[in-house]
Structure 1
Amino acid sequence: MGWRLGCVIVVDSSVCGDSLAIAVLTGGMSAERDIAIASAVQVVEALRRRGQQVRVVDTAQGWLTPAQEKELLAQRVGIRHSGERALSHGIPSWLTLPENFFPDLWFLALHGGAGEDGRIQGLLEMTGIPYTGSGVLGSAMAMDKDVSKRLLRAAGVPTPDWLMAPVECEEIEGVLGWPVVVKPSKQGSTVGLSVVHTPEELPQALTLAFQHDDEVMVERFVPGRELTGPVLGSQALTVGEIVLQKGNIFDYEAKYQPGGAREIFPAELSPDQTGEVQRLSLLAHRTLKLQGYSRADFRLDAQGRLWCLEVNTLPGLTAMSLVPQAAAAQGISFDDLVDQICLQALSRASMTCIAPSKPV
């Protein structure tokens, strides 16, 4: 792909031409650090297969040497999370570019925390270099479940009723009923989430959720089928269904441990149901001002009603992730998916003219 930085940028239909310099941001200090690294493994391999020049940045450590990169990406075996939420103070050292490497693009293989809530995006805006995924505002709104649910409901996307802690059991019983879902308001991958069936279980669930966030949501539990609606650019991808092998919710272990769940693409739905999931996924994507790609998660209840649970701005790109499976179901390979994610970012830069001139 050939393009010149500045106010006139020409983006070809594919990013597989002239080699680009791409910095893959991963790791970080969120509870989803290990998932981010697992995504980076796949992304780095795909970009290098396309002939791109790739350097890896751990946002918790800085630019990695080839040896450090190999060691970090080898951690893809054994998904786990630390629950850490600490961030270093001051300007991150990785914003100082290494000698002889000026990125054409930042590729965000980050999940949760500062990597997905708009903070990293704000830093990247100041570099003037295009980056993948959504911008500052969309990232922040989607990560805050209370804010995003208010916006989705106003736009006509059904979402289960909710309350924000602190809340009394009497109010929960009167407004939501039991069971309820207790979860951090600004976390992903269902970290810190519990399904609470009785008032006696509530204190422990709140304590767990508050370990991961200073705001906690109590949401009406919707039994039913678990569906997911990925979006790439302005297109809704194949709708998928998650069939749980254990438990009654698609929690962290079900998502990332072998045998936790079975994903079906395409989901076994009527054409009308499929179309409605895709319509609502696109509506949610636009309502929250998202860019590049996203994934909306739904429950389909026994009455055939769809309920949007949340929208992910940087959905996983691991071997087991849902967006790559949805893309594959309609003939988009993983390498082509990564190409398209890059192309979305570069196309956006061509319209906003945010890219600086490369040093000559």
Structure 2
Amino acid sequence: MNIVVLAGGNSTEREVSIASGQGICKALRERNHRAVMADPYFGMEKLEEDLFPAEYDIEEAAEKMRKESALLEETMKSRRGFFGSNVLALCEKADIVFLALHGSNGEDGKVQSVLDLMGVKYTGSNPLSSGMAMDKGITKMVFEANGVPTPKGITLEKGASSRLIDYGMEFPVVVKPCCGGSSVGVFIVKNEAEYAQALLEAFSYEDKVVVEQYITGREFSVAVVDGKAYPVIEIAPIEGFYDYKNKYQAGSCVETCPAEISASLTKEMQHYAEKGYEALKLQAYARLDFIMDEEGNMYCLEANTLPGMTPTSLIPQEAKAIGMNYPQLCEKLIEVSLKKYQ
């Protein structure tokens, strides 16, 4: 197949996206697909005559994107539109676009909407489901309405009352941007002073934040592919919680797959992962994150519709536990995504 791997973009998760795209592109080439990388934001100066060449330098393409990252802040000040030159024309020529974008303008359904209007096939969920899952406030409401356990929480807008007592909550709480990703701008706060500072910083990312009751416990994640849960993986940060640094700095976490929990707890968590996936009307694949307290009560925190896809990311580790290597997984995600178009 001729495949465009879209990576980069202009979100706070740009660098992680480039790493995902690089791994995916290499894996698909190993499976004899003619995959190429493209950055939807910076685009490309021109379209080559051979859009999907037999020989392709993935490292060179990724390095070009990383160099352009230095221009991101200034470019965003001077540009109104999202898509760079020629990238959509390239996508039109592909059999499918593999979305390796993370965070805003990629995971939130906006790029998916454009591709839908163009009649271009792509991996992952449709625009509506992507948008719902990206908004942690909406996700929480959907989970509560569909019997998926989730921590008590509220969505705050700038200027609204932020007193916890008004919402029947007490410290400690978690404060996080409503639509952020990779735990950017997430704070665990224990008192009023920390709470005020956390709100200030979280509101610097966007105009809505989620405040939820902090649950002490073990952290887990479950991939759901084509509606079926993969093995549970446990993430144990060596220090702190599963924040941006711990997610992407090598050696910051101990990741165990399958997780060392009982068969009944495993089955229960997989059930809630599938239920959360269904409630949000997700498609193809997603990753749902959980926390479980000492009594075995589990809470679904969020759903990631375009989760990290480097060879050592969580979903590849879960796939490996059932005998599926990384290139096979990348091909599987294309296969299940194409079901949307049947």
TM-score (norm: length of structure 1): 0.84
Alpha-carbon distance between aligned partners in 1 of 2:208 and 2:108, rounded to the nearest angstrom: 14
2:238 counterpart (242, 245, 257): 245
Q: Report the CA distance between 1:24 and its aligned residue.
A: 0.7
- CA offsets, 1:219-278, max 9 Å, x none? 11000010111111122101010111011x210001101221110000011111000111
- CA offsets, 1:270-289, max 9 Å, x none? 11100011100011111101
Percent identity of paired positions between Structure 1 and Structure 2 = 38
Q: Report the CA distance between 1:72 and its aligned residue.
A: 4.7
Q: Report the CA distance between 1:134 and its aligned residue.
A: 0.5
**Aligned position for 2:335:** 343
**Aligned position for 2:150:** 159
**Aligned position for 2:51:** none
Question: How has the CA–CA distance of structure 1 residues 96 and 306 changed in structure 2, closer, same or farther, with 3 Å as cutoff?
Answer: closer
Matched-pair contact (CA < 8 Å) for 1:31–1:83: no
CA RMSD, 1 decimal:
2.6
Amino acid at match of 1:129: V
**Aligned position for 2:293:** 301
**Aligned position for 2:25:** 44
Q: Report the CA distance between 1:196 and its aligned residue.
A: 0.6
Q: Report the CA distance between 1:171 and its aligned residue.
A: 2.1
Amino acid at match of 1:28: G
2:98 counterpart (99, 102, 107): 107
Alpha-carbon distance between aligned partners in 1 of 2:89 and 2:12, rounded to the nearest angstrom: 27
Matched-pair contact (CA < 8 Å) for 1:226–1:299: yes
**Equivalent residues in 2 for 1:50-199 (5 A)?**
50-63=31-44, 70-74=59-63, 86=76, 88-90=79-81, 92=83, 93-98=85-90, 102-165=93-156, 166-171=160-165, 175-199=168-192
Question: How has the CA–CA distance of structure 1 residues 76 and 97 changed in structure 2, closer, same or farther, with 3 Å as cutoff?
Answer: closer
**Aligned position for 2:250:** 258
Question: How has the CA–CA distance of structure 1 residues 75 and 243 changed in structure 2, closer, same or farther, with 3 Å as cutoff?
Answer: farther
Report SS of the residue matched to 2:210: strand
Amino acid at match of 2:321: A
Report SS of the residue matched to 1:62: coil
Amino acid at match of 1:299: I
Alpha-carbon distance between aligned partners in 2 of 1:126 and 1:164, rounded to the nearest angstrom: 31
Question: How has the CA–CA distance of structure 1 residues 175 and 292 changed in structure 2, closer, same or farther, with 3 Å as cutoff?
Answer: same
Matched, 1:271 2:263: yes
Alpha-carbon distance between aligned partners in 2 of 1:269 and 1:130, rounded to the nearest angstrom: 39
Amino acid at match of 1:155: N
Question: How has the CA–CA distance of structure 1 residues 181 and 128 changed in structure 2, closer, same or farther, with 3 Å as cutoff?
Answer: same
**Aligned position for 1:329:** 321
**Which blocks of at least 5 consecutive residues in structure 1 are unaligned?**
1-19, 352-360
Aligned residues: 326
**Aligned position for 1:233:** 226
Deviation larger for 327-336 or 203-212:
203-212
Matched, 1:316 2:308: yes
Matched-pair contact (CA < 8 Å) for 2:40–2:87: no
Matched-pair contact (CA < 8 Å) for 1:56–1:63: no
Report SS of the residue matched to 1:229: strand
**Aligned position for 2:204:** 211
Report SS of the residue matched to 2:308: coil
Question: How has the CA–CA distance of structure 1 residues 96 and 162 changed in structure 2, closer, same or farther, with 3 Å as cutoff?
Answer: closer
Matched-pair contact (CA < 8 Å) for 1:59–1:94: no
**Aligned position for 1:10:** none
- CA offsets, 1:91-128, max 9 Å, x none? 733454249x8100010000000100010000010121
Matched-pair contact (CA < 8 Å) for 2:39–2:65: no
Q: Report the CA distance between 1:177 and its aligned residue.
A: 1.3
- CA offsets, 1:38-94, max 9 Å, x none? 1011100011111111222101111477999644524899xx999969595347334
Matched-pair contact (CA < 8 Å) for 1:180–1:195: yes
